[in-house]
Amino acid sequence: MIPCAEMVRFGKNGSDATSGAVRLARAYTGRDRIAVCGYHGWQDWYIGSTARNRGVPSAVSALTHVFQYNSLESLSDVLRKHPGEFAAVILEPMNVVDPVAGFLEGVKSLAHQHGALLVFDETITGFRFANGGAQAYFNVTPDLATFGKGLANGYPLSAVVGRKDIMILMEEIFFSFTFGGELLSLAASNACLDKYAQKDVVKTMFEIGTLLKKGVVDLIGKHDLSDVLSISGHPAWTFLNFKDHPTATLMELKTFFLQEVFCRGILTAGTHNISFAHNQAKIFGKPTRKPHRRLQYGCVLFQDLFRSEESTHRKARRREHSFYALCSRPDDPSKLLMIRTSVILEKDLERRSFLGRSFK
């Protein structure tokens, strides 16, 4: 099903798989440095390269180098700075935007020119873009790839797959965990893989996602929001993108949007990961009183809130919510915080005008 998968080794989390692939690449090449693009999990080797690097030894962070998506120049710069030292180039084959023509092929050939392995992190794209993942969809086969999420549809299972001559080193490196032998998730994965093979799961998600994307584009046009909002991504995994506006930063706008849709019982992170269980009625149905998630509803509300100073939805605002939300830091909106939404709501009750930057 997956083009590069000559052998497989299972893990539990996406981070198990990406960290396993990186260790494998280091063992295979005898090199230390890694080039990264995208999100690859919580382990030191990756997270040390981000702003959330507290607690990661600088010696570890120094071995990971970030390059920009759709910029072969940026990858080339990174690789050229430390010739002969890169074990792997790992990237999400796609997230927010489509790869420009030749980008993925170019990444592969640059990695190989520099003696590094190419790893696709397909934790999200796997079984979503195609049964064989983004590598099948874009027809670029990496040396190794990692899968998770759709592999067992929510059961804790991930996988490192790839070339046999590399994968065989799994026997030499250490890749083991307390629940590594848990079997229920393997059974769940068997059932999922059968379903992917028998039903048009990917095609259905593509069609539904295309409708959703078009619906959002129409709503953005209808409410004249293109100066602050857009949607991008593969139809099965789309992103709402906020833009800076003279009255507020994009982080402030996104935070405000999330706050206000949570307030109305719509739980979203600003991305849409379509599932086979979605259908047109679920996406385009009328808003209900239930805590149901209608994107249409959220978008209309956003328009209300953005364009008018005073919301007409004060009642809903008083509800307590116990889930967590991503929010920009009041003292520094460029930084993110994980906070309880109830805290945001209480604060916003005191200060009505978020767009006036009074987030105190």
Ligand X SMILES: Cc1ncc(COP(=O)(O)O)c(C=O)c1O
Instruction: Kindly state whether residue 185 participates in binding ligand X, applying the rule CB under 6 A.
Output: no
Nearer CB in complex with ligand X: 124/202: 124
Kindly state whether residue 241 participates in binding ligand X, applying the rule CB under 6 A: no
Report yes or no: 31 and 92 within 8 Å, Cβ to Cβ. no
Figure out which of the listed residues 2, 4, 9, 14 binds ligand X, where binding follows CB under 6 A.
14
Give kind and range of the element (H or E) at residue 86: strand 86-91
For residue 46, indicate whether it is catalytic: no
End-to-end, the C-alpha distance of the chain in Å comes to 52
Pick from 5, 20, 41, 233 the residue near ligand X by CB under 6 A.
41
14 contacts 41 by C-beta, under 8 angstroms = yes
Q: Scanning residues 91 to 130, which ones bind ligand X (CB under 6 A)? A: 92, 121, 123-124
Query: Which residues are bridge partners to 241 per DSSP?
Result: 230
CB nearer to ligand X: give 120 or 242: 120
Q: Which of 149, 213, 254, 297 is catalytic?
A: 149
Would you count residue 296 as binding ligand X (CB under 6 A)?
no
Q: Is 149 a residue of the active site?
A: yes
Q: Does 11 bind ligand X (CB under 6 A)?
A: no
Determine the 3-state secondary structure of 230 from DSSP: strand
Q: Does 153 bind ligand X (CB under 6 A)?
A: no
**To 5 degrees, how large is the angle CA 131–CA 237–CA 304?**
160
The smaller minimum CB distance to ligand X, of residues 91 and 167, is found at: 91
Token reading at 170: 């799994």
Q: Which among 258, 266, 201 is positioned nearest to 229, based on CA atoms?
A: 258
Beta bridge pairs of residue 337 = 327
Say how far apart CA 233 and CA 278 lie, in whole Å: 18
Q: Mark whether 194 is an active-site residue.
A: no
To 10 degrees, the CA torsion angle through 68, 324, 306, 231? 40
Closest chain position to ligand X (CB) = 14
| Contact with ligand X (CB under 6 A) among 23, 40, 234, 294 | 40
Number of residues that bind ligand X (CB under 6 A): 14
Q: Judged by CB under 6 A, does residue 259 bind ligand X?
A: no
> Which residues are designated catalytic?
39, 121, 149
Binding site for ligand X (CB under 6 A): 13-15, 18, 38-42, 92, 121, 123-124, 148
